[in-house]
Amino acid sequence: MREINKKFKELYNDFGKKNDNVLDIEKAIQRFYQEFPEHKNDVFILDHQKFENGGQALASIEDALDKATPNIGALLKFNTKSVAKSCFQSKLPVSIAFNTASEKTTEFSKSEARVVIPAGVNFGAKILSKLLAGANLEGMNSLKIKLPLSLESDKMWQEYVLDHEIGHALTTTNVELQEVKDLFYINYLECIADAYASMRNFQKYGEDSELPEYISDLRIRASLLSATTHTTSNAIDAVVELNKQGKIKNLSPQETRDLAIEIAAKAAFTYDEQINVTKEKRKYQTMFVQDKVNQLEPIEDKAFKVAMNSKSPAFKQLVARYFESKLNISLFVNSVNKEFIDSKISDLKKSSKDIEEPKVNSLWKMIREIPLDYKAHEKPKKKPSFRFQPKNKD
């Protein structure tokens, strides 16, 4: 954590330029409790525009936090508070769960309370867009992203990220775990958060906001290069389509939360898909490391080759959606050949037709489901799915 804090301070020096176009956290907190008074005693947002350090910030909510988490042991609570203090010091946007140890079942967990830390004011559009695109701290300077003029507002990006963390805080206290046991749970939670943040962005900045679609493309870029946990483009794309139908702007905050949960349940990777996609990604990532002859071949071309030979439609659709993102936004310095990209998307779509996702049979899969099956003796009903559907039609 100290190393992370050090690197974020370096980022502040490189990118951080104070300006008036930043989110007023105090007003954002007031608005949250006006909209969700039912969470006044179990969701706590720390204001680093008000407190100088994590100790002061945690002290301001400590009594209320202790009342909200009576079942959490002293050591676990102390460790979780320590994490919150460290994240506060780095002004790293995060939602920290206070879970009871007895309720944890592998990766499934419910929270008694959440502590939310907004992004620091120096985390502007430039830094946040790179983080969402999958840049690690070391690669922050090398990733070139050109933001459209309409998306240069630091405040809008900071508000999206805060709403993403609030989306986590609003939902992990009441998720019905049995209903989502077939899903890759961590990805499901990230889909909720991005779906909620995307809807709030449309509600606050208008139906013509370009930010959700832009973030969807950033997320898919990150998905090709890194872990599948934040592969949320399918959820955001579903929100974008609902917004075009006029179904977002008039929702109440609670209806927005509930719709985010509904979208995520249909959009998240299943456990089988997550395992299969991860295996396929390892193939081209290994090729990239071991290939001495074609080191200059872009990793996306290696991913395309793997996808065309893959038996996983989820992976084929992920790669197709990645190529679509190259046509949507200026993620890349060099211009792209639209006809060439369209042909790749078309090939991937055709190869994914009429094939089913291979089932994963593993001991770990059985173990992870035992606690949930013990609590509820029926499997969830299958629901229709928002899958990656490239917008470019044949």
- Which pLDDT does position 30 carry in this prediction? 97
Q: What is the pLDDT of residue 153?
A: 93
In angstroms, the CA 65 to CA 42 distance is 7
- One DSSP character per residue, 103-157 reads G-BTTB---SEEEEEPPPTT--HHHHHHHHTT--STTTTT---PPPGGG--HHHH
Predicted local confidence at residue 345, as pLDDT: 92
CB-based contacts of 385, cutoff 8 Å, min separation 6: 266, 267
Amino acid present at 67: K
**Token pair for residue 325?**
């993102």
The per-residue pLDDT for 333 is 40
- pLDDT means over runs of 10, the chain (394 residues): 48 45 94 95 94 93 93 88 91 86 48 90 86 66 73 94 95 62 85 97 96 93 84 96 96 96 93 92 72 58 92 95 81 66 92 89 68 54 49 48
**pLDDT for residue 57:** 94
Backbone angles phi, psi at 43, to 5 degrees: -125, 125
Q: Which residues of 307-327 are buried (b: 16+ CB within 10 A; e: fewer)?
A: beebebbbbbbbbbbbbbbbe
Report DSSP state, residue 43: E
Please give the model's pTM, rounded to 2 decimal places: 0.85
Intra-chain end-to-end CA distance of the chain, in Å: 48
Tokens encoding 250: 């008039």
> pLDDT at position 360, please?
83
3-state secondary structure 201-250: HHHHHCCCCCHHHHHHHHHHHHHHHCCCCCCCHHHHHHHHHHHHCCCCCC
- Which pLDDT value is given to residue 90? 87
Q: Please enumerate in sequence order all residues whose Cβ is within 8 A of that of 231, keeping only pairs 6 or more positions apart, or say none.
A: 187, 190, 219, 220, 223, 269, 277, 318
